[in-house]
Structure 1
């Protein structure tokens, strides 16, 4: 299991990466992160929504209210051009961190 300190640092990359595939509401976003990480990354909605709000303030994502077919309103999040621009350097930065950790720990597959 991945500790919470490490997980907090990966949250922005996880959200931006998942939203690159298309807009999602918060619950589905959390579910996709968990699913695509094979359960290694899990975010409660209580932890996810404040982060989404911060990312909206930074203009990395944009949220808008939508009404589903059953009449239920929910906030849907989309990657902004600024978020797309931020994603590549963030991926490179994490990739470099992983390479450095592999060298440091002498682990073949970190």
Structure 2
């Protein structure tokens, strides 16, 4: 399924903050963790992730530092979450829960109404 860019963008901040809240990490690991946690449903690109990381760092919800990777000797930029980031994550989790609950109620009601109209031979209002 092709997910809309708007929906992907809207969900990216809480996903990234949640992953980084698990512990300091770098870009490639974030992309892989999103794919893993979503069961392969979400496949992000560097072009989507790095502008987001930069924006979140500018907003003060993330901080970064360069470290040398022990396995390759290459420098990598690691991201950690700030206190403001933890607060932002908590707020966004609550907001997404409200949206998710509302959509589930709406879709359930619509399904019930469609089933009623099918059994009555009527079109839904």
Q: How does 1:8-23 map to 2 (within 5 A)?
A: 8-23=9-24
In structure 2, which of residues 61, 74, 77 is the aligned counterpart of residue 75 of structure 1?
77
- Counterparts of 2:35 and 2:60, CA distance in 1: 24
Which of the two has higher C-alpha Rg? 2
Secondary structure of the corresponding residue to residue 75 of structure 1: strand
Where does structure 1 lack aligned partners over 5 or more consecutive residues?
none
Q: Which has the higher helix share?
A: 2
Tell me the equivalent position of 2:94.
Answer: 92
What's the TM-score once normalised by structure 1's chain length? 0.91
What's the TM-score once normalised by structure 2's chain length? 0.81
Superimposed CA distance per residue, residues 66-98 of structure 1 (whole angstroms, 9 cap, x where no aligned partner): 111232011101111110111111101000001
Tell me the equivalent position of 2:58.
Answer: 57
Alpha-carbon deviation of 1:3?
Answer: 2.5
Superimposed CA distance per residue, residues 7-27 of structure 1 (whole angstroms, 9 cap, x where no aligned partner): 110000000111111011100
Number of corresponding residues: 107
Tell me the equivalent position of 1:38.
Answer: 39
Tell me the equivalent position of 1:106.
Answer: 108
